Amino acid sequence: MATITIRGPSGLTFPISTRLFINNNFAPALSGQTLDILSPASGGHLATVAAAQSDDVDAAVKAAHNAYRTLWRDVLPAKRGELLHKLADLIERDADELATLESVDAGILFMDSKGLHVPQAIETLRYFAGWADKISGQALHIPNGIAYTKRESLGVCAAIVPWNAPLMITIWKLAPAIAAGNTLIIKPPELCPLYAQKLAALIVEAGFPPGVINIVCGTGPQAGQAIAEQKGIKKLAFTGSSAVGRQILKASANSNLKKVTLELGGKGPSIVFSDADIENALLWTSIGITANNGQICAAGSRIYVHASIYEDFLRGFTARCSNAVHGDPLLSETTKGPVISEGQHAKIMSYVEKGKASGARLLHGGESLGGQYIANTAFADVKDDDIIMKEEIFGPVAAVAKFDSEAEVIAKANDTEYGLGAAIFTNDVNRAHRVASAIEAGQVTVNSWGTLHANTPFGGVKESGFGRDMGEEALDEWTSTKVVKFNILPSREESVSAKL
């Protein structure tokens, strides 16, 4: 079928296309290949969508290249901003539909998508719409002349997006790429691509010219690999696992050395000092590991608590994490949805068993709730070298340990290959500044966890990747800098005098 009907809360129904979106047209894959999409909540069949192969990626690149060369790179920056604002308006109008799609397709709570993901996408679009006509260079003095720099678009770019917050992260790539004047190919996640089908329809309605934004669903080994190897693509932004990030870097090196930005895994520390507001710390640390079932790269999965408040914290943490209501993610009373897939469920449960085998104290949870639902789980007294303390689980499993000194906990927090996010809880401003400066992470929050804002950059260090989404810094990832130098010639009289 070319379209399917989606059903949301309160009787909401709407159609979406199941085909590839290239050159502002919906069409089947050239090979006729398809993907079956399953419901995380029920495990049943949800949709069958076109699955892009390498020839479909080539077609998308051709459309994007033609759009860039013949039209888009000469469109006035203010017009690009206007189109981004229009897309933001349409997403705001259809927030219920987009939240429904993330809920039925990815298991994200409807209220979380509508209350957090969709507004953050809108904020990001409006932020970069404002930047579109303000991307400027510098005037520079050089001997015997002047120089200036220009920040120019790259051309045809691409983004490969993960399944855990698909709409929001797609817009993190789309907004700065388009504001900077590039054309774009988006590969949505094969586990939950339906939000992108709705987004494609809104792109047409907003008035983007054909070929400027193309959306091609497909598997990583097929569509993703083809994008990474495509020589017509000048930049690729990827959010996902560290293993796939390495493959993308290799593909870039072996093809055309396309510019690459990577936002990869994490094993974020949350540090609770003895002077912290304990209720605030409990609120944010519990959210930090249970939000979206811990399927967040910046999840606060390692929690370090000062020894003087350790047992009190553990009791409060269990009380906050043990009252989740699991069920249909579309329902307002549900506070715990399913994890994304059977494979993810099995992976998380294998880590739970490793935690039990390690001898760590099981505080709460530790069991499957049936289907693809997993209880919020936490282990206490976890040793530094335990697997659940070292490896990214990507599930609602917290590893908690105590510490005695500031220097000790900084060393523990930095004892990881990752460096994406961290959280500090203290009422001592001097300590907060010292520890935030010492932590090896791209983002550190104080007395909160994981807060995102369109004007603040987000990204990692170490094996959490490189490059930034959001903030002015994101524009650097979607532009190149050209310098133009003028040698100021002497006047005719000066030239004659020099010869004499």
**Which CATH number do you get for residue 116?**
3.40.605.10
Q: Are residues 387 and 464 in the same domain?
A: no
Q: In this structure, is residue 455 part of a structural domain? A: no
Q: How buried is 476 (Cβ within 10 angstroms: 0-12 exposed, 13-18 middle, 19+ buried)?
A: middle
Q: Are residues 292 and 345 in the same domain?
A: yes
Strand pairing category for 259-263 and 235-239 = parallel
**Per-residue model confidence (pLDDT) at position 197:** 98
Q: Which residues contact 385 (CB under 8 A, 6 or more apart)?
A: none
Provide block-wise average pLDDT over 10 residues at a time, the chain (500 residues).
92 97 98 97 96 98 98 95 98 98 98 98 98 96 95 98 98 98 98 98 98 98 98 98 96 97 98 98 98 97 98 98 96 97 98 97 97 98 98 98 98 98 98 98 98 98 98 98 93 63
**Per-residue model confidence (pLDDT) at position 500:** 57
Q: In this structure, is residue 323 part of a structural domain? A: yes
Q: In this structure, is residue 494 part of a structural domain? A: no
Q: In this structure, is residue 496 part of a structural domain? A: no
Given 97, 190, 229, 263, which residue is catalytic?
A: 263
Q: Are residues 97 and 23 in the same domain?
A: yes
Q: State the amino acid at position 301 in one-letter form.
A: S
**Per-residue model confidence (pLDDT) at position 306:** 98
Measure the CA–CA gap between 289 and 268, rounded to whole angstroms. Answer: 10
Q: In this structure, is residue 21 part of a structural domain? A: yes
Q: Are residues 136 and 224 in the same domain?
A: yes
Q: Are residues 143 and 246 in the same domain?
A: yes
DSSP bridge partners of 260: 236
Q: Are residues 73 and 209 in the same domain?
A: yes
Domain count within the chain: 2
Structure tokens at 90: 């349409």
Measure the CA–CA gap between 315 and 167, rounded to whole angstroms. Answer: 36
Q: Are residues 93 and 26 in the same domain?
A: yes
Q: In this structure, is residue 42 part of a structural domain? A: yes
192 is catalytic: no
Are 330 and 100 contacting, i.e. CB atoms less than 8 angstroms apart?
yes
Q: Are residues 344 and 316 in the same domain?
A: yes
**Per-residue model confidence (pLDDT) at position 392:** 98
Alpha helices in 160-193 (DSSP H): 166-179
Measure the CA–CA gap between 176 and 473, rounded to whole angstroms. Answer: 10
**Per-residue model confidence (pLDDT) at position 490:** 82
82 is catalytic: no
Are 110 and 100 contacting, i.e. CB atoms less than 8 angstroms apart?
yes
Measure the CA–CA gap between 251 and 86, rounded to whole angstroms. Answer: 35
Given 297, 321, 392, 463, which residue is catalytic?
A: 297
193: nearest Cα among 385, 34, 372: 34
Measure the CA–CA gap between 165 and 162, rounded to whole angstroms. Answer: 7
Q: Are residues 205 and 314 in the same domain?
A: no
Q: How buried is 28 (Cβ within 10 angstroms: 0-12 exposed, 13-18 middle, 19+ buried)?
A: middle
18: nearest Cα among 42, 41, 45, 36: 36
- Residue 416: give the domain boundaries: 269-446
